[in-house]
């Protein structure tokens, strides 16, 4: 089978397509022919080992994960002897335990993060769901978002941000989305109640205050966002070492808190997303699509930080589209 691989850390040029041995499913695993995956910011960070701490996770001197990719959608090619929930030919979507989805064949545990694909999505659309949605729901839970609250999603046009807008609206929150001029219409179209163009106005000077501010892109800071919080409000960080000082400070002093959130992959959330999608309450946002052999170009685009929603990597092609 073919897979996108890397043998060293570095720029997008370290990626190339290679013939590798196909995996064989264990008794409790399904073998999936991957039709589509995504290229995420996490993929670019791991590829380059930047920031440096990624080496502590992915291998200090060289990558222990040759193949990246955190989302997938495809068809079940084979099942292990103990598998009962899936059969050959089933269309599925989900996430590997760590990475590895940029390959034609991937094995996932039956009890892992894999579910039947929403009937109303293509493979490419389904691949754009798991990672962004799981991160988004994690931030909303940390913020304690509930019906009637007023929240801000900063960096609202990315994979996490576009998912967070839709999930927050499902929870009954009033959503103010912060993004650049080029993405204003997009975030309005997926449900944002108000939009702040950060190139033209300062969120903290609009005279409003909020129950929570979520930094969906990891580019904001508590030092900036706290001025927009109500007393007792919560600022949710998804990245940024600069926020660790504020986390410690707000834990002891003041009535506005900083909390960190990270996506937690689980089957229950994936099934929840499937229900929302089939009910017409959630739709993934796709910016660009690249074939497998153009993975370096996909990484370059993601690293511009200009993508809206998700960047798709087509792995095996999608029949009928």
Which residue range is the domain that position 100 belongs to? 2-129+284-314
Half-sphere exposure of 27 (CA within 13 A, CB side): 2
Shared domain for 142 and 208, answered yes or no, is: yes
Give the residue from 111, 136, 274, 311 showing the smallest Cα distance to 214: 136
Would residue 97 count as lying in a domain? yes
Would residue 271 count as lying in a domain? no
Q: Which of 71-85, 175-189, 206-220 has the lowest mean pLDDT?
A: 206-220
Q: What is the mean pLDDT of residues 227-238?
A: 92
Residue 260 or 164, more confident: 164
Q: How confident is the model at residue 239 (pLDDT cuts 50, 70, 90)?
A: confident
pTM metric for this prediction: 0.93
What are 111-138's pLDDT values in tens digits?
A: 999 999 999 999 999 999 999 999 999 9
Q: How confident is the model at residue 321 (pLDDT cuts 50, 70, 90)?
A: very low
60 Cβ neighbours under 8 A, 6+ residues apart? none
Mean pLDDT of the chain: 93
Structure tokens at 320: 């009928």
Residue 216 or 262, more confident: 216
Would residue 321 count as lying in a domain? no
Shared domain for 245 and 142, answered yes or no, is: yes
Shared domain for 38 and 71, answered yes or no, is: yes
The β-bridge partners of 196 are: 178
Residue 293 belongs to a domain with what CATH number?
Answer: 3.90.180.10
């Amino acid at each position: 089978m073919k897979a996108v691989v890397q043998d060293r850390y570095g720029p997008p040029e370290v990626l190339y397509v290679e013939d590798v041995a196909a995996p064989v499913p264990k008794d409790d695993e399904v073998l999936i022919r991957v039709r589509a995956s995504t290229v995420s910011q996490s993929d670019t960070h791991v590829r380059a080992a930047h920031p440096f701490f990624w080496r502590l996770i992915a291998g200090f001197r060289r990558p222990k994960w040759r193949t990246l990719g955190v989302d997938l959608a495809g068809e079940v090619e084979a099942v292990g002897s103990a598998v009962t929930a899936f059969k050959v030919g089933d269309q599925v979507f989900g996430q590997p335990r760590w990475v590895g989805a940029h390959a034609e064949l991937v094995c996932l545990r039956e009890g892992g993060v894999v579910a039947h694909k929403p009937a109303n999505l293509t493979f490419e659309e389904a691949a754009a769901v798991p990672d962004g949605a799981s991160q988004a729901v994690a931030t909303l839970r940390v913020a304690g978002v509930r019906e009637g609250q007023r929240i801000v999603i900063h960096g609202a046009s990315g994979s996490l941000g576009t998912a967070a807008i839709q999930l927050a609206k499902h929870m009954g929150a009033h959503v103010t989305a912060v993004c650049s001029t080029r993405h204003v219409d997009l975030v309005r179209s997926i449900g944002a109640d108000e939009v702040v163009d950060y190139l033209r106005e300062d969120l903290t000077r609009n005279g409003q205050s909020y129950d929570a501010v979520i930094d969906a892109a990891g580019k904001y800071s508590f030092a900036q966002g706290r001025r927009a919080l109500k007393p007792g409000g919560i600022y949710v960080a998804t990245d940024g070492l600069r926020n660790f000082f504020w986390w410690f400070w707000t834990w002891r002093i003041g009535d506005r808190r900083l909390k960190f959130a990270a996506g937690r992959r689980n089957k229950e959330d994936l099934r929840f997303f499937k229900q929302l999608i089939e009910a017409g309450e959630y739709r993934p946002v796709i910016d660009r699509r690249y074939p497998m052999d153009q993975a370096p170009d996909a990484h370059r685009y993601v690293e511009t930080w200009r993508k809206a929603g998700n960047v798709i990597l087509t792995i095996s092609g999608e029949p009928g589209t």
